[in-house]
């Protein structure tokens, strides 16, 4: 009974890490940039959800609205990193995303203060389900199922759709992709938009659990980076699994040794991965240089 509760709780928080990590990975693969403002895209999606919910919008509009808010913010970030910072090196652009992250948090703090705004669970409300003797919140299940659906859709997109294949081609080699007629800049923009949209949905899913506040995205960013590292910053499926594994390991670890050790558990996992599987849990081991 306890085990089921812990596992589902871990899968739910891990699913949120995974959604943010997917966005981070998409952008990193396409541009080489680690977007430190990815958590703030989640925060924007969460605030959008609270306001749409407050305005009485139906669940479908709330979902689309949060995703769109994240997409628009992702597009703006694309503009900043690729036009305003076009002459900067990758490291400078990464620092630029950190600056944008702090800027967005500060703006939200000025507008909404640090006090969390309450959010009602999306779609199914605040209910519990009794499954095989265990009581599981429908919100946790919603988060896990929504993440699996989004992850599955992205996997299908990148494997079978022309748009996804073009995005992958640009991520592999933008020069050669351009030679084949793929609009490279548009594909890069599409990558940022996709990353923002996924983060926006993550904000909608996470907000009922935590409330909505300016630094909520920053709370998720480092675990998401670890989830991305577990996935080797490569495939959607790897990152998805990495996030879920991290969530469960973190939750079981907290259950066993206590919540004040959360960061030690999380970063211990990162250190272990970097030491034994630097290519990620599911990537191929690179050949050792001699």
Partner 1 sequence: MKVFIRALLSGVLFVLGMAAGSPGLAAGVQGASPGSIDIGVQVSLTGPASSIGQGFKAGTQLAADEINAHGGINGRKIHLVFEDDAGTAAGGILAVRRLMEQDGVFAIFGGGVSTSTASVIPLVQQSQFLYYDSLASDPRVLEHYSPYVFSGATVVRADVTSYLADVMKQDFKAKRVATLTSDEGYCTSGMTLLKPKIVARGMDLVSEQTFQSGDIDFSAQGAALKAAKPDVIYLCGVPADGGRMIPQLRRDGVTAKFLGDPALADPVTIEGAGKVANGFYAPYEVSKDWLGETSGAMAEWKARFAKAFPHPAPGTPNSFSLAAYSDFFVFAEGIRRAGSEVTPDRVIAGLDSLRNFVGGKTAAWSYAVPIGTPRTFKKGDHKGSGERDMTLLIVRDGAFARAKGLQM
Give residues in contact with partner 1 (CB under 8 A): 2, 5-6, 8-10, 12-13, 109, 113-116, 118, 126, 128, 135, 137, 139-140, 206, 209-211, 213, 215-216, 219-220, 250-255, 258-260, 262-263
For 147-150, the CB contacts below 8 A with 24+ separation are 147/15, 147/16, 147/18, 147/19, 147/205, 147/240, 147/243, 148/15, 148/240, 150/19, 150/22, 150/198, 150/201
Shortest CB 127 distance to partner 1, Å: 9
Shortest CB 250 distance to partner 1, Å: 8
Planar angle of CA 211, 226, 275, nearest 5 degrees: 155
CB nearer to partner 1: give 181 or 259.
Answer: 259
Shortest CB 144 distance to partner 1, Å: 12
CB nearer to partner 1: give 88 or 107.
Answer: 107
CB nearer to partner 1: give 174 or 211.
Answer: 211
CB nearer to partner 1: give 60 or 130.
Answer: 130
> Which string of DSSP letters, residue by residue, matches 140-205?
HHHHHHHHHHHHHHHHHHHHH-HHHHHHHHHHH-HHHHHHTT--HHHHHHHHHHHHHHHHHHHHHH
> Which string of DSSP letters, residue by residue, matches 221-277?
HHHHHHHHHHTTTT-HHHHHHHHHHHHHHHHHHHHHH-GGGHHHHHHHHHHHHHHH-
Shortest CB 8 distance to partner 1, Å: 8
Give CA–CA dist 171/85, Å, rounded. 19
Shortest CB 237 distance to partner 1, Å: 24
Shortest CB 64 distance to partner 1, Å: 25
Give CA–CA dist 21/242, Å, rounded. 9
CB nearer to partner 1: give 58 or 125.
Answer: 125
Q: Which residue has the tokens 């294949």?
A: 165
Shortest CB 48 distance to partner 1, Å: 19
Chain-centre distance for alpha carbon 120: 21
CB nearer to partner 1: give 109 or 159.
Answer: 109
CB nearer to partner 1: give 215 or 279.
Answer: 215
CB nearer to partner 1: give 15 or 150.
Answer: 15
The angle, 0 to 180 degrees and rounded to 10, between the axes of the packed helices 216-230 and 2-31 is 80
Give CA–CA dist 207/266, Å, rounded. 22
Residue 40 near residue 265, CB atoms below 8 Å: no
Shortest CB 251 distance to partner 1, Å: 4
């Amino acid at each position: 009974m306890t085990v089921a509760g812990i596992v589902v709780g871990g899968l739910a928080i891990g699913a949120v890490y995974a959604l943010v990590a997917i966005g981070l990975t998409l952008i990193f693969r396409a541009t080489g940039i680690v977007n430190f403002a990815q958590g703030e895209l989640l925060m924007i999606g969460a605030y959008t959800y609270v306001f749409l919910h407050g305005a009485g919008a139906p669940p479908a509009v709330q979902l689309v609205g949060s995703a769109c808010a994240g997409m628009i913010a992702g597009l703006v970030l694309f503009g900043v990193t690729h036009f305003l910072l076009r002459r900067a090196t990758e490291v400078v652009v990464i620092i630029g995303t950190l600056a944008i992250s702090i800027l967005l948090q500060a703006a939200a703090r000025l507008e909404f203060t640090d006090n969390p705004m309450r959010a009602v669970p999306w779609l199914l409300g605040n209910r519990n389900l009794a499954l095989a003797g265990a009581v599981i919140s429908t919100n946790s299940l919603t988060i896990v199922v929504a993440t699996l659906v989004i992850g599955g859709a992205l996997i299908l997109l990148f494997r079978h759709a022309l748009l996804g294949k073009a995005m992958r081609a640009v991520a592999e080699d933008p020069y050669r992709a351009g030679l084949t007629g793929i609009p490279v800049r548009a594909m890069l923009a599409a990558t940022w938009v996709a990353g923002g949209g996924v983060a926006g949905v993550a904000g909608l899913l996470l907000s009922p659990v935590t409330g909505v506040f300016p630094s909520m995205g920053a709370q998720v960013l480092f675990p998401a980076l670890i989830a991305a590292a577990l996935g080797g910053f490569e495939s959607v499926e790897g990152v998805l699994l990495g996030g879920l594994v991290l969530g469960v390991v973190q939750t079981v670890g907290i259950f066993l040794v206590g919540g004040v050790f959360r960061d030690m558990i999380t970063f211990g996992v990162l250190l272990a991965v970097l030491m034994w599987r630097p290519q990620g849990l599911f990537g191929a081991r690179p050949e050792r240089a001699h």
